Copies of this chain bind each other. A is one copy, B any other.
Amino acid sequence: MADIWDVIHSQRACRAFRDDDVDDATIARVLDAATFAPSAENRQPWIFVVVRDPASRKAIGEINQKAWAAGARAYSEARLTPKLLADVEAGVTGGVSAAPIIIVVCADGSAAHEATFGSSLFPAVQNLLLAATAIGLGSALTTLPTTFGDELRTLLALPGHVHPLAVIPLGWPAKRLGPPRRVPFADKTYRDRYGQDWEKGKGIR
């Protein structure tokens, strides 16, 4: 039992994990929750690869670092605050592969059209993250390693119709996470048409 409002408001990226394993029964609860998300035509085109093998986790970490060095760092450097950049960099260069479990969420191209991958997979990913939070697990939604999708494909023996979309480290958090920082919804909400602020004077332009 966990209150959904508390879980939604506390779910956030974890980038440092304890060494302790996450057992199969706990992973099962998280993946079961993922499958209750909606998908186009209810086709459920998700495939999960649960990586516990240390060599494979290390290899995913290396793919991640390669993608970071190949351009993602330069792109982020100009855009993120120094603190967020340092957090993300720590996750990329150590945290993700240091998690005891990495779940690679893939789209099954034999079950669904590519145009529906985003709307059919990321709701399941969010259920997964919320379920992890409800259990007290740390997690993070990352997509950076998928930019080297062919290397992930080789590592995980994915057939051609299986496309990795998200890479989620999962484990017990090394430290207590602070609250997520968000812009109030009213700053990004309009009534009936763009430009008519939800609360007068609040909308972005």
Expressed in whole angstroms, the Cα–Cα distance for A198 and B76 within the complex equals 36
Kindly supply a per-residue 1/0 record for chain A positions 25-51, scoring 1 wherever the CB is within 8 Å of any chain B CB and 0 otherwise. Answer: 000100111111110111010111111
Indicate if the CB atoms of B56 and A193 lie closer than 8 Å: yes
Chain B residues within an 8 Å CB radius of A2 = 3-5
Contacts A192-B51, A192-B52 known; A122 to B126 CB distance under 8 Å? yes
Contacts A1-B5, A188-B47 known; A36 to B131 CB distance under 8 Å? no
Q: Which residue of B lies closest to A133 (CB)?
A: B4
Chain B residues within an 8 Å CB radius of A200 = none
Chain B residues within an 8 Å CB radius of A22 = none
Kindly supply a per-residue 1/0 record for chain A positions 124-146, scoring 1 wherever the CB is within 8 Å of any chain B CB and 0 otherwise. Answer: 01110111001000001101000
Q: Which residue of B lies closest to A123 (CB)?
A: B126
Interface range, A side? 35 or more
Of the candidates B7, B40, B79, B80, which one forms a contact with A143 in the assembled complex, judged by CB atoms under 8 Å apart? B40
Give 29 pairs: A residue, B residue, CB < 8 Å, sorted on A: A1-B5, A4-B130, A4-B134, A8-B36, A9-B36, A12-B38, A31-B185, A32-B185, A42-B84, A47-B190, A48-B189, A48-B190, A49-B190, A49-B192, A50-B189, A53-B192, A56-B192, A56-B193, A118-B118, A118-B121, A118-B122, A119-B122, A119-B165, A119-B166, A121-B122, A122-B126, A130-B130, A155-B193, A162-B194
**Residues of chain A whose beta carbon lies under 8 Å from any beta carbon of chain B:** 1-5, 7-9, 11-13, 28, 31-38, 40-42, 44, 46-53, 56, 76, 79-80, 84, 88, 108, 116-119, 121-123, 125-127, 129-131, 134, 140-141, 143, 155-159, 162, 165-166, 180-186, 188-195, 198, 204
